[in-house]
């Protein structure tokens, strides 16, 4: 099988939980981790006689998502019932949106390893409520149902069939996640279930333009499974067609333990959701003022911020991308620069030391921007060697404090006094006469050796650049 | 203490009607406790009000006349019930009704039919037959019912009491078990216009828990007018067809004469889409019902019919056995008209027809008519069993009432005469949110119409 | 526009309703008659410009994002037919997803 002869066509449906305090249609709390069935009420339990009351903040966040994706936000949209039976769907229908959704026609651009800069279409973005959770392995021969999650606000974001590889799907999702985190409308945590994705996958021979039968791939529960699951399904379809078979439209469930997909057997009847406008809810009408308010709440978006960093701080696109990976890091970086640090140096320190430290400490950027700027200045001024500076960074991160004071206390201040350095140089050259001879005969690479010896003699305190200069002077004479 | 006891005694005396689903023991105990807790400053202080069993209460179970909710104790109460209690009223038991409010005779209750208080071989009407019967029997001065297609007005007409349906959105539906969401409203029965209006006023008004409830103050009651001078009453010709029962026609003609004598101008109008009202209703109501009743699946509340090996069997046996034949029929019709390929031809078309029906009313009112007067039902209470074999025959009972539900307009029935002892009702249909005008006219008519006289 | 036995069974499946074999013919007949009756709506010309009429408010009201759920006098443990360790319990789906 040569995948090069085949083109993969992927579209993604992403469900994102909105960061609100209460649920979409009732005032129950949405906090994660509560004991089962304790964040419930008549509405989200689907008790007889209960009615939905829509959450204004959820609507606002959904509009922000739509605006950030460049969608057309419709001033009037309609909630609709999606009817089906499932134990964790208490009303026997989900309140969603169907033919008059909140937003349509947006875009999301991302970088594809194969194709470079790609712009995927966002076909629609709509509001809906989440279902509860079914747990199948807690009781034997039974399913346990927890309705804490029932009614949590979701937006569903549907892309066009614009992705051409499992890797692109991953990149699209990563970019979408970053965007939504940036605008603060969701935690986008796949492990906690606040970001879920289903994929539509089909294959066609390279050069074909028509779309072939697609399957839906579900149960992709972690970011790392996205590419794997789609690769498995793509390969399965290609193998099937190459052996003379044809792809049937069905739902495939990803099994992460086996890294396989298998058809979901139970839903033999095709889904007839019998959508109709939700009679318990009037139309969702957005005033221009409301939409404008959501627009004004949007921060600078990742792409714009990255471009600005490239221009303002003369960073490379790659460095700017890392430094703008999250709003928190980007803001931190800018504070460090505004505290006086040279932008490129600041970028290096943020990308290496700051992010590495954050990774081990719940993403906290522990060194205050002012302190990091100071450390950078100390290195630039020759007071600290790079190595020494990293030690100081570690100390400030763990215990706080003023960098210079800490450097002094740890005896890390570099000696930049040329007389003192000259003393060490003299000692070193004196102790290594054969090497001096060899150097003067042309083995100039021995300079590194001499610098190392000076560093050793000074117990690391000599400014290595100064040491090298003094050595060069002395050896030239 | 004696009031609660007297109330309980009266209700127990009416037991033979099978109108009350609450066991006597529970009723007595609860009424005594409620009386002790009731607010003396409330406008309905001490008034016993029975509540149709499709409205959630904390006192007493809520079965909706169905096996699928047998023994179900709601953990919350309807807003309307809370408002009654806040006004000092006593919740005087739950009344029998057609299962999930689907029916026009209360013969479709899983707990047996309700007897007509004046003739036990006849039906009291439905679906709120139990509430109507209790008020007619003098057991309580007022009762709550619910309307989707006439389920308060029709039994009110059959039983000879006052029955009121508010404008859609006037009374909160939070706690009213949904049947046809865009049609449902809680309605009120009363011995008199005043009793019914008082209760309607108390239960009306804004409720943030119901998104279809309008943000309005509670209904303000009008005073009893001296005359109907200045009122223009319209008579829609489609409601006075040739086939109208002659006694009903006579009673209406007598009432119209009295309306004229009261000083109102009377004018014939036309609501041309009326013939399509019943089929329109029988697409929209079952469609919404099929979805509203999907939650009854044995998972979270109610009994389970059959332990079952897997969850789909649980659904199918619970719903197959827990729902009665009429409910199952309507769920099936509703599912069908919403299903792929049929949505446009049925549901969408019915919603368009609904718009035309609503437009008919607007046209009539725009031409200077204040209220419409019509017979409530084509004929008086029919015999039990008479219309069970043909569902459509039963549906035709709603022919004069469904239009107000489709158009969301306030409407009421008051007794205007008798035929061979059986009550006949006259209907007033008002303009949206102008219940006060409708009640005003009803006050005036009630004073002069010989409600218990043969027509 | 009568409805067939197969269609009735398909609808029963969608609606998760058990239909008794004995009751099926009458159900098919009833449904056919009702559907024929309501089909008279299609006799009226389809007018694309007539907008559906829905009573009630013109637009939803936005509820503030506060944690204040409508009250429950008692929890699911009291009314659920099968409740264990805080969960509703149902027999397992034939093939769970």
What is the per-residue pLDDT across B352-384, written as a single tens digit (0 to 9) for each?
Answer: 999 999 999 999 999 999 999 999 999 999 999
Which pLDDT belongs to residue A1? 52
Stretch (H or E) spanning A95: strand A93-97
Q: C56 vs B75: CB contact, 8 Å cut-off? A: no
Query: Tokens representing A134?
Result: 């079914």
Domain end marker among A320, A355, A382: A382
Given this model, what pLDDT does residue A383 score? 84
Cβ atoms of B344 and C42 within 8 Å: the answer is no
Closest-CA distance, C30 to chain A, in angstroms, reads 22
Nearest CA to B408 out of B200, B166, B208, B151 is that of B166
- The answer to whether residue B55 sits within a structural domain is yes
How does pLDDT run across A8-63, given as a tens digit for each residue? 999 999 999 999 999 999 999 999 999 999 999 999 999 999 999 999 999 999 99
Residue B1 binned pLDDT confidence (cut-offs 50, 70, 90) = very low
The CA angle C25-C28-C33, to the nearest 5 degrees, is 125
CA angle B183-B185-B191, nearest 5°? 135
CATH of the domain at B109: 3.90.1300.10
Q: Say what angle helices B325-338 and C5-14 make with each other, to 10 degrees.
A: 90
> Mean pLDDT over residues A209-220, rounded?
93
Does A126 lie in the same domain as A144? yes
CA distance B339 to B328: 16
Name A445's Cβ contacts closer than 8 Å, sequence gap at least 6.
none
B211 noted as active-site residue: no
Q: Is the pLDDT of residue C97 over 50?
A: no
Specify whether the CB–CB gap between B221 and B201 falls below 8 A: yes
Same domain, A321 and A467: no
- Provide the shortest C-alpha distance from residue C79 to chain B (in Å): 6
pLDDT digits (tens, 9 = 90+) for B235-247: 999 999 999 999 9
Same domain, A19 and A143: yes
Q: What is the pLDDT of residue A336?
A: 96
* pLDDT tens, residue by residue, A160-214: 999 999 999 999 999 999 999 999 999 999 988 999 999 999 999 998 999 999 9
For A284-346, strand residue ranges (E) read 284-285
- Which run of H or E residues covers position A195? strand A195-205
Give CA–CA dist A51/A65, Å, rounded. Answer: 27
Does residue B216 register a pLDDT over 50?
yes
For residues A346 and A457, state if they share a domain. no
- Give the model confidence (pLDDT) of A400-415 as tens digits: 889 989 988 887 887 7
Portion of chain A with pLDDT greater than 70, in percent: 98
Distance CA B55, CA B75 (A): 12
Report chain A residues whose CB lies below 8 A from the CB of B291: 81, 83, 92-93, 274, 276
Sort strands A79-83 and A76-77 into parallel, antiparallel or unpaired.
unpaired
Residue at A413 is within a domain: no
Asked if A137 and A274 sit in the same domain, the reply is: yes
Mean pLDDT is lowest, of A204-208, B307-311, C11-15, for B307-311
Identify whether residues A101 and A151 lie together within a single domain.
yes
Task: Print the domain residue range for B61.
Answer: 2-203
Residue whose C-alpha is closest to residue A313's, from A357, A343, A270, A279: A343
* Residue B123 domain flag: yes
Least confident of A291-300, B84-93, B183-192, C12-21: C12-21
For B143, residues 6+ apart whose C-beta sits below 8 A from its C-beta are: B49, B50, B51, B52, B92, B95, B128, B131, B132, B134, B135, B188, B189
Contacts of A433 (CB under 8 A, 6+ apart): none
Residues of B in contact with C38 (CB under 8 A): 279-280, 282-283, 337, 346, 350
Query: Is the bond preceding B127 in cis, omega lying within 30 degrees of 0?
Result: yes
- Find the residue in A nearest to C60 (Cα): A282
Which residue has better confidence, A418 or A303?
A303
Inform me whether the C-beta atom of residue C91 falls under 8 Å from chain B C-beta atoms: yes
One domain, residues A157 and A245: yes
**Would you say residue A189 lies in a domain?**
yes
- Structure-block tokens of residue B188: 């009120």
Tell whether B91 is covered by a domain. Answer: yes
Nearest to A282 among C60, C84, C93 (CB): C60
Are C50 and C44 within 8 A, CB to CB? no
Last residue of a domain, one of A258, A293, A328: A293
Whether A267 has a pLDDT exceeding 60, the answer reads no
**B293: nearest CA partner in chain C:** C15
Same domain, A305 and A362: yes
- A152 and A50 in one domain? yes
Alpha-carbon gap, residue B455 to B249, rounded angstroms? 9
The rounded distance, in Å, linking the Cα atoms of B226 and B241 is: 32
pLDDT of residue B412: 98
Query: Are A219 and A361 part of one and the same domain?
Result: no
Band of residue B307 on the pLDDT scale cut at 50, 70, 90: low
pLDDT of residue A266: 56
Burial B380-389, CB ≥16 within 10 A → b, else e: bbbebebbee
For the residues B66-88, what does the mean pLDDT come to?
A: 97
Domain membership of residue A210 (yes or no) is: yes
Q: Is B315 an interface residue toward C (CB < 8 Å)?
A: yes
Task: Answer yes or no: is A98 within a domain.
Answer: yes
Nearest 10 degrees: Cα torsion B314, B316, B320, B322: 30
Contact B382, B158 (CB under 8 A): no
Is it the case that residue A2 has pLDDT exceeding 80?
no
Each residue's pLDDT tens digit, B142-174: 999 999 999 999 999 999 999 999 999 999 999
What stretch of H or E contains A439?
helix A433-440
Residue A139: pLDDT over 70: yes
Query: Alpha carbon of A57 to those of A3, A33, A101, A109: distances in Å?
Result: 46, 22, 17, 27
ipTM: 0.97
Helix (H, G, I), strand (E, B) or coil at A114: coil
Give residue B13's pLDDT band: very low, low, confident or very high (50, 70, 90): very high
Q: Name the band, by pLDDT with cuts 50, 70 and 90, for residue B303.
A: very high
A132, A244: one domain: yes
Distance from CA of B82 to the nearest CA of A (A): 14
Structural domain contains residue B80:
yes
Find out whether A467 and A427 touch, Cβ atoms under 8 Å.
no
CA distance A56 to A19: 12
How far is the C-alpha of B189 from the C-alpha of B200, rounded, in Å?
Answer: 9
Query: Helix, strand, coil shares of chain C as percentages rounded to 5?
Result: 35, 10, 55
| Other beta carbons less than 10 A from residue A399's beta carbon | 9
* From A251-255, A464-468, B48-52, B60-64, the region with the lowest mean pLDDT: A464-468
Given this model, what pLDDT does residue A455 score? 87
Q: How much is the mean pLDDT over chain B?
A: 96
**B175, part of any domain:** yes
> Total structural domains in chain A?
3
CATH number at residue A469: 1.10.10.410
Q: Which residue of B has its CA nearest to C16?
A: B316
CA dihedral B8, B10, B14, B19 (to 10 degrees): -50
- Would you say residue A409 lies in a domain? no
List the single residue in B73, B182, B279 with the smallest CB-CB distance to C41: B279
Active site residue B182: no
Least confident among A470-474, B8-12, B173-177, B305-309: B305-309
Position B387 in a domain: no
pLDDT tens digits, B131-142: 999 999 999 999
Q: Alpha helix locations (H) across B19-169?
A: 24-37, 79-86, 129-136, 153-159
pLDDT at A386: 86
Query: Taking residues A238-242, what's their average pLDDT?
Result: 94
Which token pair is B296?
A: 């009854």
Q: A14 and A138: one domain?
A: yes
**Domain total of chain B:** 1
Select from B327, B378, B363 the least CA-distant residue to B153.
Answer: B378
Q: How confident is the model at residue A217 (pLDDT cuts 50, 70, 90)?
A: very high
In a domain? residue B227: no
> Taking an 8 Å Cβ-Cβ cutoff, which residues of chain C contact chain A?
10, 13-14, 16, 52, 54, 56-72, 75-76, 84-97
Phi, psi (degrees; rounded to nearest 5) at A209: -110, -25
What would the pLDDT profile of A316-351 be if each residue is shown by its tens digit?
Answer: 999 999 999 999 999 999 999 999 999 999 999 999
Decide if B151 is catalytic: yes
pLDDT at A265 over 80: no
Q: Is residue A43 in some structural domain?
A: yes
Q: What is the mean pLDDT of chain C?
A: 89
From A162, A161, A157, A163, select the one nearest A177 (Cα to Cα).
Answer: A157
Range of the domain at A463: 418-476
Which residues have C-beta within 8 Å of that of residue C86, sequence separation ≥ 6?
A35, A36, A37, A38, A146, C77
Q: Report pLDDT for C45.
A: 64
When pLDDT is cut at 50, 70 and 90, the band that residue B26 belongs to is very high
């Amino acid at each position: 099988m040569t995948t090069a002869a085949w083109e993969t066509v992927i579209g993604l449906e992403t469900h994102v939980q909105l960061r609100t305090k209460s649920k979409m249609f009732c005032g129950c709390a949405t906090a994660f981790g509560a004991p089962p069935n304790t964040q419930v009420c008549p509405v989200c339990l689907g008790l007889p006689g209960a009615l939905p009351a829509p959450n204004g903040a959820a609507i606002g966040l959904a509009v922000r998502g739509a605006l950030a994706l460049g969608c057309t936000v419709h001033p009037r949209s309609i909630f609709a019932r999606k009817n089906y039976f499932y134990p964790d769907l208490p009303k026997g229908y989900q309140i969603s949106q169907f033919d008059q959704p909140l937003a349509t026609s947006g875009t999301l651009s991302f970088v594809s390893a194969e194709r470079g800069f790609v712009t995927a279409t966002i076909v629609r973005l709509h509001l809906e409520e989440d279902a509860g959770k079914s747990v199948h392995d807690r009781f034997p021969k039974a399913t346990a149902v927890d309705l804490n999650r029932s009614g949590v606000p979701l937006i569903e974001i549907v892309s066009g069939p614009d992705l051409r590889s499992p890797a692109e799907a991953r990149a699209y999702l990563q970019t979408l996640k970053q965007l939504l985190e940036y605008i603060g409308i969701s935690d986008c945590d796949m492990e906690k279930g606040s970001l879920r994705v289903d994929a539509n996958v089909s294959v066609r021979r390279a050069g074909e333009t028509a779309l072939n039968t697609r399957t839906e791939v579900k149960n992709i529960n972690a970011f790392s499974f996205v590419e794997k699951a789609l690769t498995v399904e793509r390969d399965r379809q290609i193998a099937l067609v190459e052996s003379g078979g044809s792809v049937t439209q069905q739902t495939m469930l990803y099994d992460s333990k086996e890294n396989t997909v298998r058809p979901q057997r139970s839903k033999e009847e095709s889904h007839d959701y019998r959508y109709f406008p939700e009679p318990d809810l009037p139309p969702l009408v957005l005033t221009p003022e409301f939409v404008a308010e959501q627009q004004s709440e949007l921060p600078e978006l990742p792409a714009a911020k990255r471009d600005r960093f490239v221009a303002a701080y003369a960073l490379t696109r790659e460095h700017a991308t890392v430094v703008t990976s999250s709003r928190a890091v980007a803001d931190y970086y800018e504070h460090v620069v505004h505290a006086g640090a040279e932008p490129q140096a600041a970028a290096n320190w943020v990308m290496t030391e700051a992010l590495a430290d954050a990774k081990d400490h719940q993403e906290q950027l522990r060194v205050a921007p002012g302190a990091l700027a100071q450390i950078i200045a100390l290195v630039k001024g020759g007071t600290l060697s790079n190595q020494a500076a990293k030690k100081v960074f570690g100390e400030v991160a763990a215990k706080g404090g003023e960098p210079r004071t800490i450097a002094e206390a740890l005896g890390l201040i570099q000696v930049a006094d040329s007389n003192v350095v000259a003393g060490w140089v003299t000692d070193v050259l004196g102790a290594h006469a054969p090497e001096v001879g060899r150097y003067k005969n042309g083995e100039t690479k021995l300079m590194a050796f001499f610098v190392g010896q000076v560093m050793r003699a000074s117990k690391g305190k000599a400014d290595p650049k100064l040491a090298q200069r003094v050595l060069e002077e002395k050896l030239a004479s | 203490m004696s009031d609660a006891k007297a109330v309980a005694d009266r209700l127990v005396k009416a037991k033979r009607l099978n109108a009350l689903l609450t066991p006597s023991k529970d009723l007595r105990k609860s009424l005594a406790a409620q009386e002790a807790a009731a607010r003396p400053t409330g406008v309905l202080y001490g008034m016993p009000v029975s509540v149709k069993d499709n409205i959630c209460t904390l006192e007493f179970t809520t079965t909706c006349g169905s096996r699928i909710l047998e023994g179900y104790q709601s953990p919350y109460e309807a807003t309307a019930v809370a408002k009654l209690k806040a006004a000092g009223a006593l919740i005087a038991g739950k009344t029998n009704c057609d299962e999930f409010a689907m029916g026009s005779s209360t013969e479709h209750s899983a707990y047996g039919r309700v007897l007509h208080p004046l003739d036990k071989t006849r039906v009291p009407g439905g679906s709120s037959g139990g509430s109507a019967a209790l008020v007619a029997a003098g057991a309580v001065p007022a009762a709550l019912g619910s309307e989707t297609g006439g389920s308060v007005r029709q039994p009110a007409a059959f039983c000879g009491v006052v029955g009121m349906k508010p404008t859609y959105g006037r009374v909160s539906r939070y706690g009213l078990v949904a049947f046809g969401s865009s049609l449902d409203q809680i309605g009120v029965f009363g011995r008199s216009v005043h009793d019914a209006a008082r209760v309607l006023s108390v239960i009306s008004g804004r409720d943030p828990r119901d998104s279809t409830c309008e943000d309005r103050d509670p209904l303000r009651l009008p005073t009893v007018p001296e005359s109907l001078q200045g009122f223009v009453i319209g008579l829609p010709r489609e409601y006075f067809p040739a086939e109208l029962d002659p006694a009903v026609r006579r009673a209406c003609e007598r009432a119209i004469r009295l309306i004229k004598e009261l000083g109102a101008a009377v004018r014939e109008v036309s609501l041309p889409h009326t013939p399509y009202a019943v089929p329109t209703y029988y697409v929209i109501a079952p469609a919404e019902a099929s979805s509203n009743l999907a939650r009854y699946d044995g998972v979270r509340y109610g009994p389970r019919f059959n332990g079952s090996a897997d969850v789909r069997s649980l659904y199918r046996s619970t719903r197959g056995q827990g729902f009665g034949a009429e409910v199952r029929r309507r769920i099936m019709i509703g599912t069908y008209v919403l299903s792929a390929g049929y949505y446009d031809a049925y549901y969408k078309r019915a919603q368009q027809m609904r718009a035309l029906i609503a437009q008919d009313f607007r046209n009539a009112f725009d031409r200077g008519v204040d209220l419409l007067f019509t017979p409530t039902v084509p004929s008086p209470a029919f015999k039990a069993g008479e219309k069970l074999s043909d569902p459509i025959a039963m549906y035709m009972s709603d022919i004069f009432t469904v239009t107000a539900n489709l158009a969301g307009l306030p409407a009421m029935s008051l007794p205007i005469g008798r035929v061979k002892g059986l009550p006949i009702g006259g209907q007033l249909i008002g303009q949206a949110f102008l219940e006060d005008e409708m009640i005003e006219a009803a006050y005036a008519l009630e004073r002069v119409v010989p409600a218990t006289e043969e027509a | 526009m009568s409805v067939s036995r197969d269609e009735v069974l398909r609808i029963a499946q969608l609606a998760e309703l058990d239909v008794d074999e004995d009751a099926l013919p009458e159900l098919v007949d009833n449904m056919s008659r009702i559907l024929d009756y309501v089909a008279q709506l299609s006799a009226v010309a389809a007018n694309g410009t007539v907008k559906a009429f829905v009573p009630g408010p013109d637009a939803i009201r936005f509820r503030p994002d506060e944690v204040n759920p409508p009250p429950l006098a008692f929890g699911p443990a009291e009314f659920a037919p099968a409740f264990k360790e805080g969960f509703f319990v149902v027999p397992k789906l034939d093939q769970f997803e």
